[in-house]
Chain A
Amino acid sequence: MEKIIYAIIASNHGHTELIGTMKGIQGISGSAIYVLSFNDISVAVSDFTPSKYTINKELAIDFARVIEELSQQVTLLPIRFGTFLKSDKNINQLLINHYDSFLNNLQKVENKYEFGLKALWDYEKCSEKIRVKAESEAVKAGDYFSKSTIHTNYLLEKINKHRLEDALLKHVEQLIEEISRHLAQINPDCKFKKMVTRSIILDAVFLVKKSKKDDFIQAIEALKQQHDDLHFLLTGPWPPYSFVEITID
Chain B
Amino acid sequence: MNENKILLNSAPVDEFEEAIEKIENAATSRINATPDNADHGLAKLVLTLIELIRKLVEKQAIRRVEGGSLSEEEIERLGETLMKLEMKMDELKGVFNLTDEDLNLNLGPLGDLM
Contacts and interface: CB of A to CB of B under 8 A. Distances in A.
B11 A197 contact: no
Chain B facing A: main interface SS = helix
A93 B45 CA distance: 40
B15 A231 contact: yes
A185 to B, nearest CB: 19
A86 interface: no
Interface in B30-57: none
A60 interface: no
Nearest to A242: B109
Indicate the size class of the contact surface on chain A.
35 or more
Contact of B8 (A147, A151, A233): A233
Interface in A142-162: 144-147, 149-155, 158-159, 162
Chain A facing B: main interface SS = mixed
B23 A232 contact: no
Interface residues of B, number: 33
B72 A145 contact: yes
A210 B83 CA distance: 55
Given A145-B72, A197-B19, A233 B9 contact: yes
Given A162-B62, A200-B19, A231-B15, A154 B79 contact: yes
Given A147-B72, A154-B79, A203-B23, 16 more contacts: A144-B68, A145-B75, A145-B76, A150-B83, A155-B61, A159-B62, A159-B65, A196-B111, A197-B19, A199-B18, A220-B8, A231-B11, A232-B10, A233-B8, A235-B7, A236-B7
